[in-house]
Structure 1
Amino acid sequence: MSHQSIIITIGDELLIGQTIDTNSAWIAQQLNHIGINVKRRIAVADERSAIVTALDESIPQAALILLTGGLGPTADDITKPLLSEYFDSRLVVNETVLQHVKQIFTKRNRPFLERNLKQAEVPESCKVLFNRLGTAPGMWFEKDGCIIISLPGVPFEMQTIMTEEALPRLKERLAGNHIIHKTLIVAGVGESFIADKIEDIETALPPHIHLAYLPTPGYVKLRLTTEGEDKAALQAEVDIRAELISQRLGNIVAAAEDLLPEEILARLMEEHRLSLSLAESCTGGYLANRITNIPGSSSFFKGSIVSYDNEVKETLLKVPKAILETVGAVSEETVTQMAEEVRSIMRTDIALSISGILGPGGGSAEKPVGTVWMAIAGKRRTVSRKCHFFYDRLRNKEQATNTALDMIRLFIQEELGL
């Protein structure tokens, strides 16, 4: 069995929703890579009793506890003095940390204040985890067979300490187990459809392999998980089951690893040296944003015309006024012209267009909210598709974008006979 861990995040800002807890997700991923399971994530206020209670309850249940937050120089940062008292220690100045803090203030041309001296204070009983990028060091304690690590809440500082200081030590102390994940990205269908198609495969899974369904607007992640000591054997078992599922589901499996739709598309475009352009209406440039979030996307993506207003569709993309006045902007005729014209303008191998009604208003009996038309123009043909989405405006935009990205993938695979 894997070692169990608990993550405790400290901060009122987390509890009132002012700050989103991204630290826990990142920490959990890193711990999984070295065979440590996270059994619980706890958020507590900047209150002494809340932190103490969380520690008292967690230490008997885990081999590892990770705390983030509350290590700054201001009065509301109470974690360090609390931990010093909790572990029957006293705060002392660490000379290495002190010199580092002074160097940081000198480089930033800022005065070194008395309160900044407190950043160099650490409980005498802890092992100091050096913070190369900030003034608050990490701290390593041990009690009753449990390792307790306290880290700053600033994400880039926390990640640096974890990567350079904590994880190498944890690998040595808590090694021996492997957690294997294998993820399939299934696009364009829902959980129920997938479950029906692979029911016999799922039923035949051995007890030590677990299948999870993780739905997202437009696609579902299927994650196979197992753990144990023989990494190669476990990986082989999981890969065999993943291949069975992939063969059963066919081309709706967009990828056999945990990738975003835009990452899947980017790999395909780069592999086959294809170029892409977009003509967006209802997504307002979101498709282009998602694609350009991928490093290296300039190798295949030429650009997007955001034709949100009908006048732009008419003047830039040459959609005839008669079409806009009869069948409307959300129609097969409109998106077909948009796709073919933007492909011509940008001289790309492929172009996608999209126009729809995302809500909450603007719908009709003929075209209800959630109606979206898409078209793809290639060298030999143009194909179109009508979709119906049923959520709020932002989720409809997300699902439309994911659907469009996968539509391009399928178009390429059909064109190339993949």
Structure 2
Amino acid sequence: MNAEIITIGDEILIGQIVDTNSQWIGQQLNKIGVSVYQITSIQDDELHILNALKEAQKRVDIIILTGGLGPTKDDITKKTIAKYFNDDKLIEYPEVVAHIKELFKKINHPFKEIQRAQAQLPSKATYLQNSFGTAPGMWFYENETVFVSLPGVPYEMKGLITNQVLPRIQKQFKLPFIIHKTIMTYGAGESMIAERIEDFENNLPTYIKLAYLPSFGKVRLRLSAKGENKEILEKELNEEVAKVYQLIPEIITGLDDDASLEKRVGEILKRNNKTICTAESLTGGKIAANLVSVVGSSAYYKGSFITYSAETKISLLGVSKKTIEKYSVVSKEVAIEMAKGAKEKLNTNYAIAVTGNAGPTTDHNDKSVGVVFIALATDNEVFVEEFNFGQPREKVINRTVSKSLEILQKEIL
């Protein structure tokens, strides 16, 4: 069973907003056994929408559109969909009017006639009530193809997908099972890993696929199985995972259960009743931002020092001025003193400190762009590692964040 996601809106094409809707919809469809064949972004233009629908119908069984639904004149999706279904007529759905009036009543907002336009849907549509907004969703079944049109507002779209669309798809079609296992690796590149597991990959069953997902400082190996018997799929997928563990054990850090590295680190800290703080120079608080993005992080994360200048390293963390003058701000000696100072001031079990040259230029030091020192202070010792993450600036910063969390995870494990 294949689906195509079509996002409508000029704001996506000009880069004004990022299309996160398609990513989320794809994840939800995959969980119920629907494969996303293609994702398409198009202009809010009648001819473009008509062509996209026509082409998608040739390829897939389910077409999901997001965007272009609203009370304003530039929202043309409904009219275009009606035209696609043999010039279907728009009719007013009284239940939509009642829903909009009820929503407005709750917020003491008067119902205006412009809102009545949202209650006009193609006569062939099955109305999907939007519990979180005024623009309803629409469901069509034509020529053995499901068409779904949803508002582009993320929380409204998610509510409709969860409460209305997925249950209808599961009722309409007999779906296979799709199961994923993702192995996390650190410290080795994609090509090196591929070379070491080449024979394994060549001998995978046809219904199990391997994908390489490289990112800053890590490569995820995703094994995906698709079939009718869930128990057999899980058993065989676990057996293939075990084979990978035997081939590259020294670079595997575990299985990715959709949890981020910062979430896994947080779970370990919380379980062991340990605390951490951070002292950041070149990353400007990104390590802290990652750590506190996890719900419940206040149980183990105590705070951060963003010491971007030599002066703040001295005044806030107690780094010695003589150390900076002798070794420069980008040095292992300064990183060590930053970690010690942060740990002492916030009284934590661990402290991460980073200093380096993100680029494009270097200031008051003899280290090249890309050189980074990461120090970790524990209750027993302080150690530091030197890296060269190259260029450009964004890559250096992101790799510093990833590597810091990786070092922390290895230590606390």
Q: Is TM-score (shorter-chain normalized) higher than 0.5?
A: yes
- Counterpart in 1 of 2:265? 265
Amino acid at match of 1:90: K
Show the 5 A alignment for 1:138-177. 138-177=137-176
Q: Is the partner of 1:256 in helix, strand or coil? A: strand
Please state how far the C-alpha of 1:111 moved relative to its aligned partner.
2.9
Which runs of 4 or more aligned residues in structure 1 lie more than 4 Å from their structure 2 counterparts after TM superposition?
Answer: 363-366
Distance in 2 of aligned mates of 1:398 and 1:247: 30
Percent sequence identity over matched residues?
38
- Counterpart in 2 of 1:36? 34
Kindly indicate whether residue 320 of structure 2 is the aligned counterpart of residue 320 of structure 1: yes
Amino acid at match of 1:47: D
Amino acid at match of 2:345: I
Distance in 2 of aligned mates of 1:255 and 1:270: 18
Distance in 1 of aligned mates of 2:81 and 2:128: 15
Distance in 2 of aligned mates of 1:273 and 1:211: 37
> Is the contact between residue 363 and residue 369 of structure 1 (CA under 8 Å) also seen in structure 2?
no
Q: Give the TM-score taking structure 1 as reference length.
A: 0.95
- Counterpart in 2 of 1:379? 379
Distance in 1 of aligned mates of 2:363 and 2:238: 46
- Counterpart in 1 of 2:13? 15
Kindly indicate whether residue 46 of structure 2 is the aligned counterpart of residue 48 of structure 1: yes
Amino acid at match of 1:300: Y
Please state how far the C-alpha of 1:151 moved relative to its aligned partner.
0.5
- Counterpart in 1 of 2:178? 179
Distance in 2 of aligned mates of 1:372 and 1:254: 23
Structure 2 unaligned segments of length 5 or more: list them. Answer: none
Amino acid at match of 2:404: A
- Counterpart in 1 of 2:57? 59
Q: Is the partner of 1:322 in helix, strand or coil? A: helix
Q: Is the partner of 2:369 in helix, strand or coil? A: coil
Query: How big is each residue's C-alpha offset from its partner over 1:274-318, in whole Å with a ceiling of 9 and x where there is no partner?
Result: 111111111111100110000011111111111111111112222
Distance in 1 of aligned mates of 2:79 and 2:350: 60
- Counterpart in 2 of 1:339? 339
Amino acid at match of 1:266: G
Amino acid at match of 1:92: I
- Counterpart in 1 of 2:396? 396
Please state how far the C-alpha of 1:196 moved relative to its aligned partner.
2.7
Show the 5 A alignment for 1:220-299. 220-257=219-256, 258-299=258-299
Please state how far the C-alpha of 1:197 moved relative to its aligned partner.
2.9
Distance in 2 of aligned mates of 1:198 and 1:378: 36
- Counterpart in 2 of 1:416? none
- Counterpart in 2 of 1:112? 111
Alpha-carbon RMSD across the aligned residues, in angstroms, is 1.5
Distance in 1 of aligned mates of 2:37 and 2:184: 25
Structure 1 unaligned segments of length 5 or more: list them. Answer: 414-418
> Is the contact between residue 336 and residue 375 of structure 1 (CA under 8 Å) also seen in structure 2?
yes
The 10-residue stretch of structure 1 (103-112 or 214-223) with the greater mean CA deviation from structure 2: 103-112
> Is the contact between residue 184 and residue 256 of structure 1 (CA under 8 Å) also seen in structure 2?
yes
One of 72, 75, 82 as aligned partner of 2:73: 75
Distance in 2 of aligned mates of 1:24 and 1:219: 25
Q: Give the TM-score taking structure 2 as reference length.
A: 0.96
Please state how far the C-alpha of 1:368 moved relative to its aligned partner.
0.8
Amino acid at match of 2:342: V
> Is the contact between residue 275 and residue 350 of structure 1 (CA under 8 Å) also seen in structure 2?
yes
Please state how far the C-alpha of 1:400 moved relative to its aligned partner.
0.4
Distance in 2 of aligned mates of 1:356 and 1:82: 54
The structure-2 alpha-carbon separation of the partners of 1:243 and 1:272, relative to structure 1 and needing over 3 Å to count, comes to farther
Amino acid at match of 2:374: M
